[in-house]
Homo-oligomer: A and B are copies of this chain.
């Protein structure tokens, strides 16, 4: 069901209330037109200092002040499917009494978009030029991504020295992300009747050495730009066998390698091919590069100081890697607990929204 009613956004009462308004515009992936229309309308009405470009349901809004540095600040407009959790409700944490907003999108990631949109509307002279980006189709297959599409269509709009993605991080900086690669590792043997097993070669038994190697392997912890990334190398699927009385001649193991962002996809593929060099074949099935956190750049260090706390490495793969692939260091920073993303009871503390808003505002207003 598509939502066709026009929604209007009123940012006057601050980022927490803006979170509620954005959540209450249904915007499941593929159904982002209404929320994109509302964002475009409020920018047209209240942000003459921004140059606004629309690409499908992705909106790019740029200051063009001729600052020495430019930062891209991005968030996705879509959510995973609604499950009786829109409109949002007010709640208090039963333990702490903390004020919460409960419902679909509160964590992933309307609170982050609200912080960004409030500042886009308010700050007509930030210390860095800013490219605000709100995009469609993040929660679905990567090739549908509105960010990917807009980057292909208008790469010049995305040039920047640093990028901040508003994915939920509990209001801390989570830098970069691991890359991921899947490979099929093939072991071959020779069929025989199992009553005469010595006439054959058992491909499943040969897989034992591969799995033993995986069991013994201690995944690396790699420090990149000051953050520690934990790698992982795992069998995620195994298959082999012909019949209950046949020595099997084929066993295939699918492995997933999560690799630190100091490695390219090609280096990761080389590592995997070498690790499984005793197998009969290693075929790379798919791969996505990691992203360096880039926290050693002065602009990033100033952002980190404004946010406070200790930055850490982002564990999962996020769209920061799209910026990283363009050579733009990128971090995740947004309100909300990432472990609640996609949960039917996702909920965000109002205080976290406000703290994220204050930190980002401080960094964009005070010369650093």
Q: List the interface of chain A (C-beta within 8 A of B).
A: 178, 180, 182, 193-198, 202, 204-215, 219, 230, 232, 234-248, 251, 253-254, 256, 258, 285, 315-317
A238 touches B193 (CB 8 A): no
Instruction: With A197-B258, A205-B214, A256-B194 as known contacts, state yes or no: A244 contacts B236, CB within 8 Å.
Output: yes
Report A241 CB to chain B, min CB distance, Å: 3
Contacts of A248 in B (CB 8 A): 235-237
Instruction: With A194-B258, A206-B215, A212-B212 as known contacts, state yes or no: A236 contacts B246, CB within 8 Å.
Output: yes
Distance, CA A206 to CA B206, complexed state (A): 15
A236 touches B245 (CB 8 A): yes
Distance, CA A89 to CA B147, complexed state (A): 75
B202 touches A235 (CB 8 A): yes
Contacts of A202 in B (CB 8 A): 214-215, 234-235
From B214, B239, B241, B256, contact of A254 by CB (8 A) = B241
Contacts of A316 in B (CB 8 A): 193, 195-196
Identical subunits present: 2
A193 to B, closest residue via Cβ: B316
| Cβ-closest 9 pairs across A and B | A208-B211, A237-B241, A197-B232, A204-B235, A208-B212, A205-B215, A195-B316, A194-B256, A238-B240
Instruction: With A193-B316, A215-B208, A232-B195 as known contacts, state yes or no: A182 contacts B244, CB within 8 Å.
Output: yes
A205 touches B211 (CB 8 A): yes
Distance, CA A196 to CA B254, complexed state (A): 17
Distance, CA A232 to CA B192, complexed state (A): 12
A197 touches B234 (CB 8 A): yes
Instruction: With A194-B256, A195-B317, A258-B194 as known contacts, state yes or no: A211 contacts B204, CB within 8 Å.
Output: yes
Contacts of A205 in B (CB 8 A): 211, 214-215, 234-235
Report A165 CB to chain B, min CB distance, Å: 16
Distance, CA A43 to CA B242, complexed state (A): 45
A198 touches B232 (CB 8 A): yes
From B182, B213, B215, B251, contact of A238 by CB (8 A) = B251
B239 touches A198 (CB 8 A): no
Instruction: With A239-B238, A247-B234 as known contacts, state yes or no: A208 contacts B214, CB within 8 Å.
Output: yes
10 CB contacts below 8 A, A to B, read A182-B244, A193-B316, A196-B315, A211-B211, A236-B241, A236-B246, A237-B242, A238-B240, A238-B241, A244-B254
A241 to B, closest residue via Cβ: B237
A248 to B, closest residue via Cβ: B236
Instruction: With A209-B215, A211-B204, A215-B208 as known contacts, state yes or no: A194 contacts B234, CB within 8 Å.
Output: yes
Contacts of A194 in B (CB 8 A): 180, 232, 234, 236, 256, 258
